[in-house]
Amino acid sequence: MRVLVTGGAGYIGAITVEQLILSGHDVVVLDTLVTGHRENVAPGATLATHSVRDKEKVVEVLREHRIEAVLHCAARSLVGQSMEDPALYFTENVVGGIALLDAIREAGVDRIVFSCTAAVYGEPEKVPIRETWPTQPVNPYGASKLSFEYAMGWYQAYGLRSVSLRYFNVAGASEHHGERHDPETHLVPNILAAAQGGPPLTIFGDDYPTADGTAIRDYIHVLDLADAHIAALTLTGEMEPGQQICNLGSGSGFSVKQVLDVATTVVGAEIPHQYGPRRAGDPPALIASNDKAEEVLSWRPQRGTLQEMIGSAWALLQKSDVG
């Protein structure tokens, strides 16, 4: 399959590109390198440094490389930044996304997989979360992702076959790539940064209605996520015009304190940390139901332990330090 991966120089995109190439697919990466990294682009992939908003250039790339399907990972994804600059998020994630939909329509491509987010659910009243539950995002990031998902679904009028993957907390690394966000807002890389002498980890809230008082989240290994993207691309080649929506997680929840405890075991030393107040909009627990993904994608996570996720990220950091 000839696949265009937008955002293929970022964390999730780059690792999915790696796995696509290992599976025998031809890949073109579309990435402006504003937040992605050129060195993340896997050997064997072609890089085009255009924005998804540049419809004419995207059409050229699609036609030149005879692309059969698109994996859309490109997005602005910092919740705090989205609260400060919502216009940026709706411009990049919605306006840019619709430009991409129009480009693939003009180029005659009718298959797309979208990297969405559990942020579309906002603050659910119970867990595990199913795809049929209300979508009530509480920040512009989640709202922009949901807006594009809606638009993508309506493009079935033009024959589009789409899958939206609403994933939960992604962690871990491949042999070559891990998380490199600036600023870094994700828990596992911040824990490991503290373990390497960086600022102490701040745990936001120790008064949640959970067993140890810290918030519970569902973590999925980035390699399992890549596998799900590839399964979704396969599904778009088999389904009728329309849209499928699937949650992706481990189906289990771990508290911040539990993640910290496992990381302490992985690194073999105490990790400096401190407690701060809860962050607005952080629910006590977010856990996915994977039932639909298992049904329609024949997918289930294979690397579900925190030890595997944190261990792979720590191993890559140690390898980088040696290098």
Instruction: State the sign of the Cα–Cα–Cα–Cα dihedral 34, 38, 39, 42.
Output: positive
Q: Which residue has the tokens 């033009």?
A: 158
- DSSP conformation letters of 165-192: EEE-EEE---SS-----SS---HHHHHH
Catalytic annotation present for 141: yes
Contact 159, 142 (CB under 8 A): no
Tokens of 152: 């993508």
CA-closest candidate to residue 89, choices 102, 111, 74, 70: 74
Q: Which of 89, 121, 141, 167 is catalytic?
A: 141
Which residues on adjacent β-strands are paired with residue 286? Answer: 217
Tell me: cis bond preceding 283? Omega within 30 of 0 counts: no
Q: Quick one: the chain helix, strand, coil %, rounded to 5?
A: 40, 20, 40
Q: Which residues form the catalytic set?
A: 141
